[in-house]
Amino acid sequence: MWGDFEFQRAVERLYGAFAHHSLPADMSACEHCVDPAEVALFARTPLRKLTPEQLGTYLMNPGTWGDETEFPHLLPRLLEAYATGEMEHWLWPDRVTRRISGRWQNWPAAERDAVEHFVRVWWCRTLGGYPSAPPAQDLLDAVAELGVDIGPYLAEFAGVPGEAAARHLADVISDWAYGSSLRGDAQESMRRWLAGPTPVDVLLSAAVASASPEIADELADAAEYACLIGESLLAEGVLPDAVAER
């Protein structure tokens, strides 16, 4: 499990990789959408001091504030703010990853690696405690927007010790049962994983080990949902990623 030290290292690696990107001297914005004084304050605020309110207002005005040339400069602070829960009341983290989807894989290797490493550390850190801000499902949505293979992320539900990961999985199962979906190839990866034995195994094992009757019941109910979802997917002809997991 990734701890706070590894997380801070990932944060610093992210800032270091994007340090050569500066904020454009003239970051224009539509005066009808954003107060010019707010834009001016944003421009003179040091990157690491940008507040959730400033970042959230910026994200809520795509196309009317900036022209995307400013985004690489802002990316480390945006990802850090979401990962530390500062943006809990401002949109969802996929609003960040969606902005770089389809083009970040063409960035220099140091930038790509820093982003991918940060998101993996963020994911494992999320699964290590419960609850989290943002919730695991919201973070999984953000990962899917990057277009990466979510298989290793799903595998961490079984790889991270403790019942927190299982409780996050229970929430993901609940969201899925109510119609949650993922972007592109991630949707099919999730379907194959849910059709396999791992989700039920993780939930039942955690239910048996839990010292809390309430949490044990919560996990057992989620295991039942996961079983029903898996059976439904198998009936549809979904081929599970099950052979290597057994």
SS3 65: strand
For the cut 80, the answer to whether the pLDDT of residue 216 exceeds it is: yes
CA 15/CA 12 separation, integer angstroms? 5
| pTM of the shown model | 0.93
CA distances from 234 to 176, 179, 184, 186 (A): 16, 17, 20, 18
At residue 242, the pLDDT reads 54
- Backbone phi, then psi, for 65, in 5-degree steps? -135, 110
The answer to whether residues 222 and 173 touch, using CB atoms and an 8 Å cutoff, is: yes
Q: Could you read off the pLDDT of 73-112 as tens digits, one per residue?
A: 999 999 999 999 999 999 899 999 999 998 999 999 999 9
Q: 29 pairs with which residues across the strands?
A: 65
> What is the pLDDT confidence band of residue 231, given thresholds at 50, 70 and 90?
very high
Nearest to 134 by CA among 61, 198, 52: 52
Q: Could you read off the pLDDT of 22-31 as tens digits, one per residue?
A: 999 888 899 9
The answer to whether residues 241 and 234 touch, using CB atoms and an 8 Å cutoff, is: no
Structure tokens at 171: 């929430």
- Backbone phi, then psi, for 29, in 5-degree steps? -150, 150
Quote the mean pLDDT of the chain. 93
At residue 246, the pLDDT reads 34
Residue type, 94: D
Please give the distance of CA 11 from its chain centroid, rounded to a whole number: 15
CA 94/CA 98 separation, integer angstroms? 6
Structure tokens at 159: 């790889």
CA 76/CA 114 separation, integer angstroms? 10
The answer to whether residues 123 and 156 touch, using CB atoms and an 8 Å cutoff, is: yes
The arithmetic mean of pLDDT across residues 145-157, rounded, is 96
Q: Count of alpha carbons within 13 Å of 10, Cβ hemisphere only?
A: 23
CA 52/CA 33 separation, integer angstroms? 18
- Does 131 sit behind a cis peptide bond, omega within 30 degrees of 0 on the bond before it? yes
The answer to whether residues 197 and 245 touch, using CB atoms and an 8 Å cutoff, is: yes
